[in-house]
A and B are shown apart, each in its own frame.
Chain A
Amino acid sequence: MELKSILATDCGSTTTKAILIEKIDGEYRLKYRGEAPTTVEAPFEDVTKGVLNAVMEIEELAGRKLLDGDNIISPQKDDSGVDIYISTSSAGGGLQMMVAGVVKSMTGESAERAALGAGSIVMDVIASNDGRLPHEKIKRIRQLRPDMILLSGGIDGGTVSHVVELAEILSAANPKPRLGQNYKLPVIYAGNKKAQDQIRNTLGELTDLDIVDNIRPVLERENLGPSRDKVHDLFMEHVMAQAPGYKKLMSWTDAPIMPTPGAVGFLIEMIAKEENISVVGVDIGGATTDIFSVFSEKFNRTVSANLGMSYSVCNVLAEAGLDNVLRWVPLDIDRKELTNRIGNKMIRPTTVPQSLEELIIEQAIAREALRLSFKQHKEFAVELKGVQTERTISDAFEQSGSGKSLVNMMDLDLLVGSGGVLSHAPRRSQSARMLVDAFQPEGITQLAVDSIFMMPQLGVLANIDKKELSDEARKAALEVFHKDCLIRLGTCIAPVGKSKPDALVLTAHLVFPDKSSRIVELHDGELIKIDAPYEPIQITLTPAKKMDVGSGMGESIETEIFGGVTGLIFDGRGRPLEVPIEKEKRLSLLEKWSKAVNEYPIK
């Protein structure tokens, strides 16, 4: 079916964002966007009000009618209405889950991966071997009021008693759902097939039990799909149905409402697959930071529930420490005054930095929030644990066992940032610097930001199931993603290895599309920015003897790279990036790096 226009909303905890996509001259493009405060809370208590307000803003901008009273006009007739309407949601605190598995690092971790992949916040992982006594586990389950529980454990045909024991603990705790007292807590069982009857006996009466295929049918393989899909279904049927106004919203949409992070994850996974690349995507919000990655075709998502730029800003300070935040601030600031300022941002989360000093502090905090979230992600995105691998003599010399991190920065092709502090930074070079400083990409890495954070809407658009719509919707999502969603910042080139201070670490020979050429010499500790638009550039990179830029120590690379709105960033500061502790030296170096990329309007 041909789609002339698509309306998509994302109902966040604070803002509802709407976008209108239209097909013009055979291609799908983002036409307008509107936003309004989310209205899940009192006094409105109806999410659709915020949706209508955001759509009304689009109506005004587009100068055409999309609403008929409190209804979205669909399908499009002449110049009124839209062909489809879809939505994602993270309002009301998103989807909060608890997961359980027999062995924490095996089925427990698989269950966590499935829940995170579906877009939920995992409140706790209960496992037979988590070191807590049964009554401690029960107490914890009773304290938490999750939206749903995912229970796994055991390979198919394996021991039954451990996973039944977990079910007995759940049953004894008799957990209550977070929203509403009048329905049973949804529990998904995705464990040993052989235990299904006993699980039914233990939990069938007490909870709203659903049984799906085992998440870990054999040790060597994860089967996350069925659990992830069930989480999405239950999110719609139970959790969302309890939130104010969602029943109405669900009746408006042409596809199920997805949890926001689930939609973003779906999109990133799809891009990595289509282009056969490794991708890291980050969404830094007010309360949480989500990181998505695809390495070696394996998708992972983590959510750092208390690392964010407003509601959780003080937690970034607590976890990173004031010194780690200050190491990015090229100003001399009173420490006590600074903590009060950050505290005030937490209690008044919607404010924006008016002065330059405030902006610099905010971006320093963002670097630390991103760094800490990525650290957590690297620890979680690992190969399956507990799998026996055949070892050869040469492997015996390597100490890496199972559970090695999948994240390899040298292999990373594309780093995409989104969330207010990255997408709305006044200068794009600021976004590029935050990404490079926090993630410390190695070798050649393309950098991009989501212009207005529309990945959630594009994710749900790409995931439409209805047969007559799915192909066209997917096409629309991809076209808009490449043309309007991503702002290509440029490429970061960072050699890694050992070098002496100020020594030459890399020589680059660049040939631009107009055949002009340039040679760049990068020294240790240096940051160089070359202006270059988003066009293919032929480059030959020759690292110093003990430096690697992707092909091994001292090995040259000839390849094609792309510029962007910021251009090419040559980063000779080494990995891991270390900022001097001594104040004078630090301030002078920060100023030098900042000037190199034209980061701030410092006189």
Chain B
Amino acid sequence: MAHAYTPGLKVLHQSDVSKNRRLPIKGEVVKNIGDNVTPEMVVAKTDLPGNVQMVKVSNLLNIGPSDIKDAMIVATGDHVEKDQVIAEMAGLFGLFKSEVKSPIDATIESISDVTGQVVLREKPIPVEVDAYMSGVVKDIIPEEGVIVETSAAFIQGIFGIGGESRGKIVIVTDNRDDEITPNHILEEHAGKIIVGGSFISLEAFRKAISLKVVGVVVGGFNYFDLESILGYTLGVAITGSEELGTSLVVTEGYGKIHMSDRTFSLLKEHENHFASINGATQIRAGVIRPEIVIPLSKDQLTQIEDKKVQEVGIGMGSFVRIIRAPYFGKIGKVKSLPSELNKMESETMVRVAEVDVNGEILLVPRSNLEMLETN
């Protein structure tokens, strides 16, 4: 059967979700294989080397770099306090002594007789990595972190901002077509993840931030409104480090676009359930999509054998979403994948798919289709 290699966004009722929780540099793993974890539990920790300051001792004492060792009154590895004298030089007949004081609390890292500099290092900066989602420690990456696994409903968005967060899911619109307006967002939504339909305006998103809503999941958002939120024009889709307090997960794209039925229904099914959300997006090599992970309790697990997601791509009968004009946002079923190239209105010659959208057959370039992975 013909296949098109098109990456799809996952909308899964039940899936084994595993997350690598790694430290930026080597450190200590504090959990063991098999441990149950909750999102806020620390799984690994380390100390980042402290910030560094360089002091040009030879210049300050007006001596040659090679004379620095004679002038130093502390040695490499010594701890010094702010304003403690670290080097001194006696002047004429022992008078007019000049000295250099440490600008910070630090450890002497090195003393160079080539450049006459002393490197001072501040105390280490502790770093911790939490579990992000409830689950079990499946594996340990020695000195780096753990792999947490859980059975969960799993939804990927197309684009997001803001980092990791967690909270209960609340559906704030009646259906997947409605916009989230400022009136939908209430004080009681503080600490929760709110879900809406087709769009959230800048005004409404700002209100969500001010009321400390932890996450917003919605079909569309205006690209040009991002600048007001981020304070800069988003040129490249690499996000996640914004400190907004409210993560945004856009499921369909820029503009006003109905949230897909499957996504909305699945989120609705899990209203009031606890979820982990991450707005981090990286659309480059090593693509990262924003996500919502809703861990399932034992009684929520179905007996259905989890369908292994085939990575072969779109085939006949696949459910797809059209992701470019003129049919942007439409959802249909692939009727056929003709092998010959077809000429589009733009005169581009491409491989196409015939897609059945509510009985209407549309000819669409295969690369303008996105598979909806469902189970």
The residue on A at minimum CB distance from B343 is: A426
Chain A residues near B350 (CB-CB < 8 A): 352
Would you call B318 an interface residue if the criterion is a C-beta within 8 Å of the partner chain's C-beta atoms? no
| Pair B283/A311 contact, Cβ less than 8 Å | yes
Per-position 1/0 for B11-33, Cβ under 8 A of A: 00000000000001110000000
| Pair A160/B114 contact, Cβ less than 8 Å | yes
Per-position 1/0 for A204-222, Cβ under 8 A of B: 0000000000000000000
Would you call B365 an interface residue if the criterion is a C-beta within 8 Å of the partner chain's C-beta atoms? yes
| Pair B286/A347 contact, Cβ less than 8 Å | no
Chain A residues near B210 (CB-CB < 8 A): none
Asked whether A340 and B324 contact (CB < 8 A) given A346-B237, A348-B158, A353-B346, the answer is no
Asked whether A342 and B324 contact (CB < 8 A) given A40-B285, A314-B237, the answer is no
In this complex, the member of A168, A312, A319, A601 whose beta carbon has the largest number of chain B beta carbons within 10 angstroms is: A168
Asked whether A181 and B370 contact (CB < 8 A) given A198-B114, A427-B347, the answer is no
| Pair B370/A314 contact, Cβ less than 8 Å | no
Asked whether A168 and B324 contact (CB < 8 A) given A161-B65, A347-B254, A601-B347, the answer is no
Would you call A409 an interface residue if the criterion is a C-beta within 8 Å of the partner chain's C-beta atoms? no
Asked whether A351 and B368 contact (CB < 8 A) given A172-B121, A340-B254, the answer is yes
| Pair A287/B5 contact, Cβ less than 8 Å | no
Stretch at the interface among A61-69, A72-80, A131-139, A275-283: A131-139
Would you call A523 an interface residue if the criterion is a C-beta within 8 Å of the partner chain's C-beta atoms? no
| Pair A168/B110 contact, Cβ less than 8 Å | yes
Chain B residues near A134 (CB-CB < 8 A): 52-54
Chain A residues near B253 (CB-CB < 8 A): 340, 343-344, 347-348
Chain A residues near B349 (CB-CB < 8 A): 426
Residue from B5, B119, B144, B237 in contact with A347 in the complex, judged by beta carbons closer than 8 Å = B237
| Pair B346/A356 contact, Cβ less than 8 Å | yes
Asked whether A354 and B345 contact (CB < 8 A) given A311-B284, A340-B254, A340-B255, the answer is yes
| Pair A138/B285 contact, Cβ less than 8 Å | no
Chain B residues near A169 (CB-CB < 8 A): 54
Rounded to whole angstroms, the CA-CA distance of A198 and B65 in the bound complex is 13
Would you call B117 an interface residue if the criterion is a C-beta within 8 Å of the partner chain's C-beta atoms? yes
Rounded to whole angstroms, the CA-CA distance of A165 and B346 in the bound complex is 58
Rounded to whole angstroms, the CA-CA distance of A60 and B116 in the bound complex is 67
Per-position 1/0 for A516-527, Cβ under 8 A of B: 000000000000
A-B contacts counted at CB < 8 A amount to: 182
Chain A residues near B347 (CB-CB < 8 A): 356, 359, 426-427, 601
Per-position 1/0 for A160-203, Cβ under 8 A of B: 11001100110111101000010000000000000000100010
Asked whether A319 and B235 contact (CB < 8 A) given A173-B52, A354-B325, the answer is yes
Q: Which of B125-140 contact A (CB under 8 A)?
A: none
Chain B residues near A226 (CB-CB < 8 A): none
Chain B residues near A340 (CB-CB < 8 A): 222-224, 253-255
| Pair B254/A352 contact, Cβ less than 8 Å | no
| Pair B53/A135 contact, Cβ less than 8 Å | yes
Chain A residues near B25 (CB-CB < 8 A): 176, 181
Would you call B203 an interface residue if the criterion is a C-beta within 8 Å of the partner chain's C-beta atoms? no
In this complex, the member of B235, B255, B284 whose beta carbon has the largest number of chain A beta carbons within 10 angstroms is: B235
Would you call B375 an interface residue if the criterion is a C-beta within 8 Å of the partner chain's C-beta atoms? no
The residue on B at minimum CB distance from A601 is: B347
Residue from A41, A160, A168, A344 in contact with B287 in the complex, judged by beta carbons closer than 8 Å = A41
Rounded to whole angstroms, the CA-CA distance of A135 and B346 in the bound complex is 53
Would you call A91 an interface residue if the criterion is a C-beta within 8 Å of the partner chain's C-beta atoms? yes
Residue from B114, B233, B285 in contact with A314 in the complex, judged by beta carbons closer than 8 Å = B233
Chain B residues near A312 (CB-CB < 8 A): 235-236
Would you call B323 an interface residue if the criterion is a C-beta within 8 Å of the partner chain's C-beta atoms? yes
Chain A residues near B52 (CB-CB < 8 A): 134-135, 138, 172-173
Per-position 1/0 for A275-317, Cβ under 8 A of B: 0000000000001000000000000000000100001101111
Asked whether A181 and B346 contact (CB < 8 A) given A13-B284, A36-B5, the answer is no
Rounded to whole angstroms, the CA-CA distance of A263 and B65 in the bound complex is 45
Would you call A388 an interface residue if the criterion is a C-beta within 8 Å of the partner chain's C-beta atoms? no
Q: Which of A235-289 contact B (CB under 8 A)?
A: 287
Asked whether A347 and B158 contact (CB < 8 A) given A13-B285, A312-B235, A426-B349, the answer is yes
Would you call A392 an interface residue if the criterion is a C-beta within 8 Å of the partner chain's C-beta atoms? no
Chain B residues near A37 (CB-CB < 8 A): 5
Asked whether A344 and B285 contact (CB < 8 A) given A306-B236, A356-B346, the answer is no
In this complex, the member of B6, B7, B325 whose beta carbon has the largest number of chain A beta carbons within 10 angstroms is: B325
The residue on A at minimum CB distance from B22 is: A181
B233 CB, min distance to chain A CBs, angstroms = 4
Q: Which of B80-122 contact A (CB under 8 A)?
A: 109-110, 112, 114-117, 119, 121
The residue on A at minimum CB distance from B309 is: A43
Residue from A44, A202, A347, A355 in contact with B345 in the complex, judged by beta carbons closer than 8 Å = A355
Would you call A92 an interface residue if the criterion is a C-beta within 8 Å of the partner chain's C-beta atoms? yes
The residue on A at minimum CB distance from B55 is: A134
B260 CB, min distance to chain A CBs, angstroms = 14
Would you call A339 an interface residue if the criterion is a C-beta within 8 Å of the partner chain's C-beta atoms? yes
Q: Which of B323-340 contact A (CB under 8 A)?
A: 323-328
How many chain B residues touch A (CB < 8 A): the figure is: 60
Would you call B78 an interface residue if the criterion is a C-beta within 8 Å of the partner chain's C-beta atoms? no
The residue on B at minimum CB distance from A41 is: B286
Chain B residues near A44 (CB-CB < 8 A): 311
Rounded to whole angstroms, the CA-CA distance of A355 and B344 in the bound complex is 7
Residue from A168, A354, A355, A359 in contact with B54 in the complex, judged by beta carbons closer than 8 Å = A168
Would you call B38 an interface residue if the criterion is a C-beta within 8 Å of the partner chain's C-beta atoms? no
Residue from B24, B49, B326 in contact with A174 in the complex, judged by beta carbons closer than 8 Å = B49
| Pair A181/B144 contact, Cβ less than 8 Å | yes
Chain A residues near B158 (CB-CB < 8 A): 347-348
Rounded to whole angstroms, the CA-CA distance of A486 and B236 in the bound complex is 32
| Pair A135/B234 contact, Cβ less than 8 Å | no
Would you call B302 an interface residue if the criterion is a C-beta within 8 Å of the partner chain's C-beta atoms? no
| Pair B323/A354 contact, Cβ less than 8 Å | no
The residue on B at minimum CB distance from A174 is: B49
In this complex, the member of B6, B348, B368 whose beta carbon has the largest number of chain A beta carbons within 10 angstroms is: B348
Would you call A357 an interface residue if the criterion is a C-beta within 8 Å of the partner chain's C-beta atoms? yes
| Pair A339/B344 contact, Cβ less than 8 Å | no
Per-position 1/0 for A85-121, Cβ under 8 A of B: 0000001110000000000000000000000000000
Chain A residues near B237 (CB-CB < 8 A): 311, 314, 346-347
Would you call B367 an interface residue if the criterion is a C-beta within 8 Å of the partner chain's C-beta atoms? yes
Rounded to whole angstroms, the CA-CA distance of A287 and B348 in the bound complex is 22
Would you call B319 an interface residue if the criterion is a C-beta within 8 Å of the partner chain's C-beta atoms? no
| Pair B115/A358 contact, Cβ less than 8 Å | no
Would you call B159 an interface residue if the criterion is a C-beta within 8 Å of the partner chain's C-beta atoms? yes
Per-position 1/0 for A361-403, Cβ under 8 A of B: 0000000000000000000000000000000000000000000
In this complex, the member of B110, B281, B364 whose beta carbon has the largest number of chain A beta carbons within 10 angstroms is: B110
A374 CB, min distance to chain B CBs, angstroms = 19
Rounded to whole angstroms, the CA-CA distance of A426 and B255 in the bound complex is 28
Rounded to whole angstroms, the CA-CA distance of A354 and B7 in the bound complex is 19
| Pair B51/A139 contact, Cβ less than 8 Å | yes
Chain B residues near A174 (CB-CB < 8 A): 49
| Pair B109/A172 contact, Cβ less than 8 Å | yes
User: Can you sample 29 A-B contacts with CB below 8 Å?
Assistant: A14-B285, A43-B311, A93-B285, A134-B52, A135-B54, A161-B65, A161-B115, A168-B110, A172-B110, A174-B49, A176-B24, A287-B284, A311-B236, A311-B284, A339-B222, A342-B223, A343-B254, A344-B253, A345-B324, A347-B158, A347-B237, A347-B253, A347-B283, A348-B158, A350-B367, A352-B350, A353-B324, A356-B347, A359-B347
Known: A311-B283, A347-B281. 17 other contacts (CB 8 A): A40-B285, A93-B286, A134-B53, A135-B54, A138-B52, A168-B112, A169-B54, A339-B224, A339-B254, A341-B254, A346-B236, A347-B253, A348-B323, A348-B370, A351-B365, A355-B326, A427-B347
Q: Which residues of A does B touch, CB under 8 Å? A: 13-14, 36-37, 40-41, 43-44, 91-93, 134-135, 138-139, 160-161, 164-165, 168-169, 171-174, 176, 181, 198, 202, 287, 306, 311-312, 314-319, 336-337, 339-359, 424, 426-427, 601
Q: Rank and list the top 3 A-B pairs by shortest CB-CB distance, nearest first.
A: A315-B235, A343-B223, A426-B347
